[in-house]
Amino acid sequence: MALLGNWRSRPQRVRHTGWRRPSRTAVAFSLYALFALVGIALPTSYIVQSPGPVLDVTKDIDGKQVLAVTGTDTHESDTSLLMTTVTATGNADHGVPGVIAAGSLLTRELQLVPVRALYPEEVSSADVKERNLALMDFSQDTAAAVAFDKAGMDVQMTLTVAGIPEDSPASGVLEEGDELVAISSPAVDSGKVVPIGTFIDLAYVLDVTPAGTDVKLTVLRAGAEHTAVITTRAHEPDRTGWVHPGSMIGAAVGVSDVELPADVSYVVDGIGGPSAGGMFTLAIYDAVTPGSLGGSATIAGTGAISWDGDILPIGGIRHKINGARQAGATDFLAPAVNCPETEGFAPDGLNLWAVRTIDEAISAVDAIGAGDTSQLVPCSAIQLVEGEGD
């Protein structure tokens, strides 16, 4: 039998052309990538805040004045007064997608804020919008009343007791619904009776009355006048340790039936909240008084305005100062309580000044225009009291 050479079996090369079972590592990586993609697309529980639009309330937009005073004499002004805003991405219903939240961590101009730090769970985005529009209306009404009053024009309103805390000096003396008619204090003209036509009239007396002073209030109750004697109490210090001058009667006071000597209209569609009140007040005051309050300066600012002319704290100031500088402002008026929040965020070329009242704000704008800011308080001089949070 003949052998046809030496033969031995060889392994056969098999070529796979179909599906191959993936490795565990590949499966894990794919799942991770899928979850990551889903994660960056789904809403988070965060809102992203950034600088919003900046409006010069002394100028026009598309041929319409941002703020127009009619029904009285007005004066041209070279001063630019900028209101600043914050843009919020996300809302009370849901936060931003993960990809936007992650991106906000890469720049100082964006700030990631928990939704619930801004809005309670029971508040919807529709509720927030409605409230912000109402606050904008309130700020406009208050700004007009305060500005006209400070300009020496006739303003009238009704002040009514709206609430009295149990431990208040007014408890058992005043009643809800009492209409405040007049006030007298030994600290003002030896007890001269001052008629209360506006909230500023009431503040004029109380702001110079030391705590522990007996003041007399004339109130209208059920159609009859009554005299109420109240021992005033000191104000509580704010977060910076500052104490409001004078004293208080310890009652919440509501305002109604406001009568103004002129009309003010606004073109600020889509913007809500109370924080432009201070700048509105300055613009109205500048319009109805001769000359340019701040010369040719470009001055931005923020702060709500109260009926008695106090400048109240707001949110988002670090974004507002950035927006102001980008818009060309050289000076910024900030509520004093907000000043500590600007530390480390003040843009180059922008002077930050602390103000607590509209009187201080008017003086600040005048000083900036005159080129002498030596008497103004820089924001850097305002610090939080140890132990107080932002």
pLDDT at 30: 46
Contact status, residue 379 vs residue 352, Cβ threshold 8 Å: yes
| Rounded CA separation 227/214 (Å) | 12
Whether pLDDT at 3 is above 50? no
pLDDT at 108: 75
Contact status, residue 308 vs residue 159, Cβ threshold 8 Å: no
Portion of the chain with pLDDT greater than 90, in percent:
73
Is 275 annotated in the active site?
yes
Whether pLDDT at 216 is above 60? yes
Segment 353-379, tens digit of pLDDT: 999 999 999 999 999 999 999 999 999
**CA 63 from chain center: how many Å?**
28
96-102 long-range contacts, CB within 8 A, separation 24+:
96/43, 96/44, 96/46, 96/47, 96/48, 97/40, 97/41, 97/42, 97/43, 97/44, 98/39, 98/40, 98/41, 98/42, 98/44, 99/40, 99/41, 100/48, 101/44, 101/46, 101/48, 102/40
pLDDT at 276: 97
Whether pLDDT at 267 is above 90? yes
Contact status, residue 45 vs residue 115, Cβ threshold 8 Å: yes
**Mean pLDDT of the region 112-124:** 81
Contact status, residue 110 vs residue 104, Cβ threshold 8 Å: yes
Q: How many residues does the chain have?
A: 390
Sequence-ordered alpha helix ranges (H) in 42-114? 98-104
Segment 272-303, tens digit of pLDDT: 999 999 999 999 999 999 999 999 999 999 99
Contact status, residue 147 vs residue 288, Cβ threshold 8 Å: yes
pLDDT at 82: 98
How high does pLDDT run on average in the chain?
A: 88
Six token digits for residue 326 = 């980008």
| Rounded CA separation 314/338 (Å) | 7
Q: Which domains does the chain have, with CATH numbers?
A: 49-88+262-389 (3.30.230), 156-259 (2.30.42.10)
φ, ψ of residue 124 to 5 degrees: the values are: -95, 170
CA distances to 27, 42, 54, 198, 258 from 265, rounded to whole Å, are 64, 42, 18, 22, 16
pLDDT at 101: 72
Q: pTM for the whole thing?
A: 0.86
Whether pLDDT at 350 is above 90? yes
Segment 328-346, tens digit of pLDDT: 999 999 999 999 999 999 9
Six token digits for residue 290 = 């001769």
φ, ψ of residue 181 to 5 degrees: the values are: -105, -45
Is 320 annotated in the active site?
yes
Residues in Cβ contact with 144 at an 8 Å cutoff, skipping those fewer than 6 apart: 260, 262, 264, 280, 284
φ, ψ of residue 22 to 5 degrees: the values are: -70, 155
| Rounded CA separation 83/69 (Å) | 17
| Rounded CA separation 284/73 (Å) | 12
Segment 168-203, tens digit of pLDDT: 999 999 999 999 999 999 999 999 999 999 999 999
CA-based R_g, the chain, Å:
31
**Mean pLDDT of the region 100-128:** 78
Segment 203-212, tens digit of pLDDT: 999 999 999 9
| Rounded CA separation 179/238 (Å) | 29
Q: pLDDT band for position 4 (50/70/90)?
A: very low
pLDDT at 9: 46
Six token digits for residue 315 = 């949110």
Q: How many other β-carbons are positioned within 10 Å of the β-carbon of residue 130?
A: 12
- Indicate the burial class of 13 (C-beta count within 10 angstroms; 0-12, 13-18, 19 or more): exposed
Portion of the chain with pLDDT greater than 70, in percent:
86
Catalytically annotated residue among 104, 185, 247, 275: 275
Catalytically annotated residue among 80, 139, 247, 320: 320
CA distances to 96, 175, 213, 275, 335 from 234, rounded to whole Å, are 44, 21, 10, 27, 21
Segment 16-38, tens digit of pLDDT: 555 555 555 654 454 444 334 44
Segment 58-99, tens digit of pLDDT: 999 888 899 999 999 999 999 999 999 998 887 887 777 776
